Amino acid sequence: MSVQEKLRPKKEKDEEVEEDLKEEIAGYAEETETTTKVAGTPIEDFDVSTADLTNLERDVISVAQDVLKLKRYEAKLLVDRVENMNPLVDKLFATCIARFSYSKGYSKSEIFLTIKELERKNWIVTGQRRTRQEILENEIMKGILKLIEEAPGIHARDPIILERLGITRNPFTKHVMTLSSFDLIRIGKIGKTQNYFPLSSPVELDELFVVLQNDLCLQMVQLLLDKPGIGVLDLARELNVFHGAIQYHAKKLKALGFLNENLEVNHQIAVRYNQFAKIYQLNLKN
Protein backbone atom coordinates (compact mmCIF):
# COMPACT_ATOMS: atom_id res chain seq x y z
CA MET A 1 0.00 0.00 0.00
CA SER A 2 1.36 3.43 -0.95
CA VAL A 3 1.92 6.26 1.52
CA GLN A 4 -0.80 8.24 -0.23
CA GLU A 5 -3.22 5.33 0.22
CA LYS A 6 -2.40 5.10 3.91
CA LEU A 7 -2.96 8.84 4.35
CA ARG A 8 -6.33 8.92 2.65
CA PRO A 9 -9.16 9.80 5.06
CA LYS A 10 -11.01 6.80 6.42
CA LYS A 11 -14.35 8.31 5.43
CA GLU A 12 -13.23 8.49 1.80
CA LYS A 13 -12.22 4.80 1.88
CA ASP A 14 -15.59 3.85 3.37
CA GLU A 15 -17.39 5.71 0.60
CA GLU A 16 -15.43 3.69 -1.95
CA VAL A 17 -16.52 0.46 -0.28
CA GLU A 18 -20.12 1.67 -0.51
CA GLU A 19 -19.73 2.46 -4.21
CA ASP A 20 -18.12 -0.94 -4.81
CA LEU A 21 -21.07 -2.65 -3.18
CA LYS A 22 -23.56 -0.65 -5.24
CA GLU A 23 -21.78 -1.60 -8.46
CA GLU A 24 -21.76 -5.28 -7.56
CA ILE A 25 -25.50 -5.43 -6.89
CA ALA A 26 -26.48 -3.11 -9.74
CA GLY A 27 -27.03 -5.97 -12.17
CA TYR A 28 -28.84 -8.19 -9.74
CA ALA A 29 -32.55 -8.64 -10.36
CA GLU A 30 -34.31 -10.51 -7.59
CA GLU A 31 -36.70 -13.17 -8.84
CA THR A 32 -40.29 -12.22 -8.26
CA GLU A 33 -43.46 -13.95 -9.30
CA THR A 34 -46.29 -12.02 -10.91
CA THR A 35 -49.54 -13.06 -9.33
CA THR A 36 -53.09 -12.16 -10.27
CA LYS A 37 -55.27 -11.32 -7.32
CA VAL A 38 -58.73 -12.83 -7.38
CA ALA A 39 -61.77 -11.93 -5.37
CA GLY A 40 -61.84 -13.44 -1.92
CA THR A 41 -61.47 -12.72 1.74
CA PRO A 42 -59.15 -9.74 2.31
CA ILE A 43 -55.80 -10.68 3.80
CA GLU A 44 -55.00 -8.84 7.00
CA ASP A 45 -51.44 -7.76 7.55
CA PHE A 46 -49.32 -10.36 9.27
CA ASP A 47 -47.61 -8.86 12.31
CA VAL A 48 -44.10 -7.81 11.30
CA SER A 49 -41.91 -6.48 14.06
CA THR A 50 -38.22 -5.92 14.58
CA ALA A 51 -38.86 -4.45 18.03
CA ASP A 52 -36.85 -7.22 19.69
CA LEU A 53 -33.76 -6.44 17.60
CA THR A 54 -30.99 -4.12 18.70
CA ASN A 55 -30.00 -1.09 16.63
CA LEU A 56 -26.85 -2.91 15.56
CA GLU A 57 -28.84 -5.98 14.48
CA ARG A 58 -31.15 -3.81 12.38
CA ASP A 59 -28.16 -2.07 10.82
CA VAL A 60 -26.48 -5.38 9.93
CA ILE A 61 -29.73 -6.66 8.38
CA SER A 62 -29.93 -3.54 6.21
CA VAL A 63 -26.47 -4.36 4.81
CA ALA A 64 -27.19 -8.09 4.51
CA GLN A 65 -30.17 -7.37 2.24
CA ASP A 66 -27.68 -6.14 -0.38
CA VAL A 67 -24.72 -8.41 0.29
CA LEU A 68 -26.74 -11.65 0.18
CA LYS A 69 -27.70 -10.86 -3.41
CA LEU A 70 -24.12 -10.83 -4.65
CA LYS A 71 -24.19 -14.02 -6.68
CA ARG A 72 -20.45 -14.20 -7.16
CA TYR A 73 -20.29 -15.39 -3.54
CA GLU A 74 -21.41 -18.91 -2.67
CA ALA A 75 -24.67 -18.86 -0.74
CA LYS A 76 -23.24 -20.10 2.54
CA LEU A 77 -22.90 -18.34 5.82
CA LEU A 78 -20.11 -19.97 7.81
CA VAL A 79 -19.82 -18.01 11.03
CA ASP A 80 -17.47 -19.59 13.52
CA ARG A 81 -14.47 -17.39 14.20
CA VAL A 82 -13.32 -14.24 12.44
CA GLU A 83 -10.32 -16.02 10.90
CA ASN A 84 -12.58 -18.81 9.54
CA MET A 85 -15.13 -16.62 7.75
CA ASN A 86 -16.08 -17.65 4.24
CA PRO A 87 -16.12 -15.02 1.44
CA LEU A 88 -19.81 -14.14 1.85
CA VAL A 89 -19.49 -13.46 5.57
CA ASP A 90 -16.22 -11.65 4.99
CA LYS A 91 -17.96 -9.33 2.51
CA LEU A 92 -20.84 -8.71 4.94
CA PHE A 93 -18.41 -8.15 7.80
CA ALA A 94 -16.18 -5.76 5.82
CA THR A 95 -19.13 -3.75 4.50
CA CYS A 96 -20.62 -3.37 7.98
CA ILE A 97 -17.25 -2.20 9.32
CA ALA A 98 -16.92 0.31 6.47
CA ARG A 99 -20.45 1.59 6.92
CA PHE A 100 -20.81 1.66 10.69
CA SER A 101 -17.45 1.68 12.50
CA TYR A 102 -16.80 5.33 11.67
CA SER A 103 -20.39 6.61 11.65
CA LYS A 104 -21.81 4.71 14.64
CA GLY A 105 -18.78 3.53 16.57
CA TYR A 106 -19.48 -0.22 16.42
CA SER A 107 -16.42 -2.38 17.08
CA LYS A 108 -15.36 -5.25 14.81
CA SER A 109 -16.10 -7.82 17.52
CA GLU A 110 -19.60 -6.37 18.08
CA ILE A 111 -20.32 -6.57 14.36
CA PHE A 112 -19.04 -10.14 14.05
CA LEU A 113 -20.98 -11.39 17.07
CA THR A 114 -24.11 -9.70 15.75
CA ILE A 115 -23.79 -11.44 12.37
CA LYS A 116 -23.36 -14.74 14.20
CA GLU A 117 -26.43 -14.12 16.36
CA LEU A 118 -28.61 -13.10 13.41
CA GLU A 119 -27.62 -16.29 11.64
CA ARG A 120 -28.47 -18.33 14.74
CA LYS A 121 -31.90 -16.68 15.02
CA ASN A 122 -32.60 -17.19 11.29
CA TRP A 123 -32.84 -13.50 10.52
CA ILE A 124 -30.21 -14.22 7.87
CA VAL A 125 -30.56 -17.36 5.73
CA THR A 126 -28.05 -17.23 2.94
CA GLY A 127 -29.49 -20.10 0.92
CA GLN A 128 -32.46 -17.83 0.25
CA ARG A 129 -30.25 -14.78 -0.39
CA ARG A 130 -32.72 -12.77 1.66
CA THR A 131 -33.16 -11.72 5.26
CA ARG A 132 -36.04 -12.62 7.52
CA GLN A 133 -37.16 -8.99 7.43
CA GLU A 134 -37.47 -9.07 3.64
CA ILE A 135 -39.58 -12.22 3.90
CA LEU A 136 -41.89 -10.71 6.51
CA GLU A 137 -42.34 -7.53 4.46
CA ASN A 138 -43.28 -9.42 1.29
CA GLU A 139 -47.05 -9.22 0.68
CA ILE A 140 -47.38 -12.74 -0.73
CA MET A 141 -45.38 -14.21 2.17
CA LYS A 142 -47.51 -12.32 4.67
CA GLY A 143 -50.64 -13.63 2.97
CA ILE A 144 -49.38 -17.22 3.11
CA LEU A 145 -48.44 -16.88 6.78
CA LYS A 146 -51.88 -15.48 7.56
CA LEU A 147 -53.59 -18.28 5.66
CA ILE A 148 -51.57 -20.98 7.43
CA GLU A 149 -52.34 -19.25 10.73
CA GLU A 150 -56.07 -19.45 10.01
CA ALA A 151 -56.03 -22.93 8.46
CA PRO A 152 -53.44 -25.06 10.31
CA GLY A 153 -52.60 -28.20 8.35
CA ILE A 154 -53.41 -26.72 4.95
CA HIS A 155 -51.90 -28.51 1.95
CA ALA A 156 -50.76 -27.13 -1.39
CA ARG A 157 -53.77 -28.45 -3.36
CA ASP A 158 -56.37 -26.68 -1.22
CA PRO A 159 -58.49 -24.47 -3.56
CA ILE A 160 -58.62 -21.76 -0.90
CA ILE A 161 -55.00 -20.88 -1.78
CA LEU A 162 -56.05 -19.62 -5.20
CA GLU A 163 -59.16 -17.96 -3.75
CA ARG A 164 -57.31 -16.10 -1.02
CA LEU A 165 -53.87 -15.52 -2.50
CA GLY A 166 -54.31 -15.73 -6.25
CA ILE A 167 -51.41 -18.19 -6.64
CA THR A 168 -51.30 -21.79 -7.76
CA ARG A 169 -49.77 -24.87 -6.13
CA ASN A 170 -46.21 -24.58 -7.48
CA PRO A 171 -45.45 -21.02 -6.33
CA PHE A 172 -47.22 -21.72 -3.04
CA THR A 173 -44.98 -24.75 -2.45
CA LYS A 174 -41.87 -22.74 -3.28
CA HIS A 175 -42.88 -19.97 -0.86
CA VAL A 176 -43.69 -22.29 2.05
CA MET A 177 -40.28 -23.94 1.71
CA THR A 178 -38.75 -20.48 2.04
CA LEU A 179 -40.88 -19.76 5.12
CA SER A 180 -39.79 -23.07 6.62
CA SER A 181 -36.12 -22.28 6.07
CA PHE A 182 -36.60 -19.13 8.17
CA ASP A 183 -38.39 -21.18 10.87
CA LEU A 184 -41.61 -19.24 10.36
CA ILE A 185 -43.83 -22.31 9.89
CA ARG A 186 -43.81 -26.06 10.58
CA ILE A 187 -44.07 -28.72 7.89
CA GLY A 188 -45.48 -32.15 8.68
CA LYS A 189 -46.54 -35.11 6.60
CA ILE A 190 -49.96 -36.44 7.61
CA GLY A 191 -50.88 -39.49 5.57
CA LYS A 192 -49.78 -38.89 2.00
CA THR A 193 -49.84 -35.10 2.01
CA GLN A 194 -47.36 -32.43 3.08
CA ASN A 195 -49.12 -30.10 5.47
CA TYR A 196 -48.22 -26.67 6.79
CA PHE A 197 -48.75 -25.41 10.34
CA PRO A 198 -48.17 -22.14 12.18
CA LEU A 199 -45.61 -22.27 14.97
CA SER A 200 -48.37 -21.29 17.41
CA SER A 201 -50.58 -24.35 16.85
CA PRO A 202 -50.21 -27.40 19.15
CA VAL A 203 -48.48 -30.37 17.53
CA GLU A 204 -50.86 -32.82 19.20
CA LEU A 205 -53.75 -31.38 17.14
CA ASP A 206 -51.95 -31.62 13.78
CA GLU A 207 -53.77 -34.71 12.56
CA LEU A 208 -57.17 -33.37 13.67
CA PHE A 209 -56.56 -30.13 11.76
CA VAL A 210 -55.85 -32.13 8.61
CA VAL A 211 -58.77 -34.58 9.02
CA LEU A 212 -61.32 -31.79 9.51
CA GLN A 213 -60.22 -30.05 6.32
CA ASN A 214 -62.09 -32.82 4.52
CA ASP A 215 -65.52 -31.31 3.70
CA LEU A 216 -67.45 -34.51 4.39
CA CYS A 217 -65.70 -35.06 7.70
CA LEU A 218 -66.32 -31.47 8.82
CA GLN A 219 -70.00 -31.68 7.82
CA MET A 220 -70.35 -34.99 9.63
CA VAL A 221 -68.92 -33.58 12.86
CA GLN A 222 -71.18 -30.52 12.60
CA LEU A 223 -74.22 -32.79 12.27
CA LEU A 224 -73.11 -34.75 15.34
CA LEU A 225 -72.94 -31.45 17.22
CA ASP A 226 -76.29 -30.20 15.91
CA LYS A 227 -78.13 -33.50 16.34
CA PRO A 228 -76.71 -35.42 19.31
CA GLY A 229 -77.51 -39.12 19.13
CA ILE A 230 -77.84 -39.25 15.34
CA GLY A 231 -76.71 -42.62 13.98
CA VAL A 232 -74.48 -43.68 11.12
CA LEU A 233 -77.34 -44.44 8.71
CA ASP A 234 -79.05 -41.12 9.34
CA LEU A 235 -75.74 -39.30 8.91
CA ALA A 236 -75.19 -41.05 5.60
CA ARG A 237 -78.73 -40.19 4.46
CA GLU A 238 -78.43 -36.50 5.38
CA LEU A 239 -75.00 -36.16 3.75
CA ASN A 240 -76.00 -38.25 0.72
CA VAL A 241 -73.10 -40.68 1.03
CA PHE A 242 -72.69 -44.41 1.68
CA HIS A 243 -72.63 -45.34 5.35
CA GLY A 244 -69.14 -46.84 4.80
CA ALA A 245 -67.78 -43.31 4.24
CA ILE A 246 -69.26 -42.22 7.59
CA GLN A 247 -67.74 -45.22 9.34
CA TYR A 248 -64.34 -44.51 7.77
CA HIS A 249 -64.22 -40.92 9.04
CA ALA A 250 -65.73 -41.84 12.40
CA LYS A 251 -62.99 -44.43 12.92
CA LYS A 252 -60.31 -41.79 12.30
CA LEU A 253 -61.90 -39.34 14.71
CA LYS A 254 -62.31 -42.00 17.39
CA ALA A 255 -58.62 -42.86 17.10
CA LEU A 256 -57.84 -39.19 17.74
CA GLY A 257 -60.07 -39.12 20.81
CA PHE A 258 -62.38 -36.61 19.14
CA LEU A 259 -65.37 -38.98 19.06
CA ASN A 260 -66.36 -41.69 21.54
CA GLU A 261 -68.03 -44.98 20.70
CA ASN A 262 -71.45 -43.30 20.80
CA LEU A 263 -70.29 -40.73 18.22
CA GLU A 264 -70.28 -37.96 20.82
CA VAL A 265 -67.88 -35.08 20.17
CA ASN A 266 -65.24 -34.33 22.78
CA HIS A 267 -66.27 -30.75 23.53
CA GLN A 268 -62.98 -29.83 25.22
CA ILE A 269 -60.95 -30.81 22.15
CA ALA A 270 -63.47 -29.08 19.86
CA VAL A 271 -63.09 -25.80 21.77
CA ARG A 272 -59.31 -26.03 21.57
CA TYR A 273 -59.49 -26.88 17.88
CA ASN A 274 -61.59 -23.76 17.23
CA GLN A 275 -59.04 -21.57 18.98
CA PHE A 276 -56.65 -22.19 16.09
CA ALA A 277 -58.75 -23.23 13.08
CA LYS A 278 -60.41 -20.03 11.90
CA ILE A 279 -61.44 -21.14 8.41
CA TYR A 280 -62.51 -24.76 8.97
CA GLN A 281 -64.39 -23.99 12.19
CA LEU A 282 -67.06 -25.87 14.05
CA ASN A 283 -70.26 -24.23 15.26
CA LEU A 284 -70.30 -25.04 18.98
CA LYS A 285 -73.24 -22.82 19.93
CA ASN A 286 -75.79 -25.63 20.07
| Predicted confidence (pLDDT) per residue in 51-89, tens digit | 688 999 999 999 988 888 877 766 555 555 555 667 888
Q: Please indicate, yes or no, whether residues 92 and 174 belong to a single structural domain of this protein.
A: no
Q: How many domains does the chain have?
A: 3
CA distances from 4 to 1, 18, 90, 97 (A): 8, 20, 26, 22
Q: Please indicate, yes or no, whether residues 82 and 176 belong to a single structural domain of this protein.
A: no
Q: Please indicate, yes or no, whether residues 54 and 115 belong to a single structural domain of this protein.
A: yes
Q: Is residue 285 part of a domain?
A: no
pLDDT at 134: 87
Give mean pLDDT, residues 85-113: 89
Q: Is residue 23 part of a domain?
A: yes
**Between 1 and 147, the higher pLDDT residue:** 147
Q: Please indicate, yes or no, whether residues 20 and 69 belong to a single structural domain of this protein.
A: yes
Under 8 Å between Cβ of 99 and 62 = no
Q: Please indicate, yes or no, whether residues 89 and 183 belong to a single structural domain of this protein.
A: no
What CA–CA distance (Å, rounded) separates 130 from 9? 33
Q: What CATH number is associated with residue 216?
A: 1.10.10
Q: Is residue 286 part of a domain?
A: no
Q: What CATH number is associated with residue 182?
A: 1.10.10.10
Q: Is residue 281 part of a domain?
A: no
The residue from 80, 95, 126 where one domain ends is 126
The residue from 182, 202, 222 where one domain ends is 202
Q: What is the reported pTM?
A: 0.73
Its domain, for residue 17, covers 8-37+40-126
- Nearest Cα to Cα of residue 147 among 131, 136, 132, 163: 163
Q: Please indicate, yes or no, whether residues 31 and 101 belong to a single structural domain of this protein.
A: yes
The H or E element that residue 131 is part of is: strand 130-131
Q: Please indicate, yes or no, whether residues 216 and 197 belong to a single structural domain of this protein.
A: no
Q: Is residue 283 part of a domain?
A: no
Q: Per-residue confidence at 220, pLDDT binned at 50, 70, 90?
A: very high
Q: Please indicate, yes or no, whether residues 49 and 70 belong to a single structural domain of this protein.
A: yes
Identify the weakest region by mean pLDDT among 24-33, 254-263, 265-274: 24-33
Identify the weakest region by mean pLDDT among 76-85, 105-114, 201-210: 76-85
Q: Please indicate, yes or no, whether residues 62 and 89 belong to a single structural domain of this protein.
A: yes
Mean pLDDT estimate for the chain: 82
Q: Please indicate, yes or no, whether residues 22 and 92 belong to a single structural domain of this protein.
A: yes
- Nearest Cα to Cα of residue 139 among 159, 166, 158, 117: 166
Torsion sign across C-alpha atoms 139, 142, 148, 151 = negative
Phi, psi at residue 178, to the nearest 5°? -65, -45
Q: Is residue 1 part of a domain?
A: no
Q: Is residue 22 part of a domain?
A: yes
The residue from 94, 126, 158 where one domain ends is 126
Q: Please indicate, yes or no, whether residues 88 and 50 belong to a single structural domain of this protein.
A: yes
CB atoms within 10 A of CB 205: 21
Q: Please indicate, yes or no, whether residues 64 and 95 belong to a single structural domain of this protein.
A: yes
Q: Is residue 175 part of a domain?
A: yes
Percent above pLDDT 70 for the chain: 76
> In sequence order, which residues have a C-beta less than 8 Å from that of residue 52 and are 6 or more positions away?
none
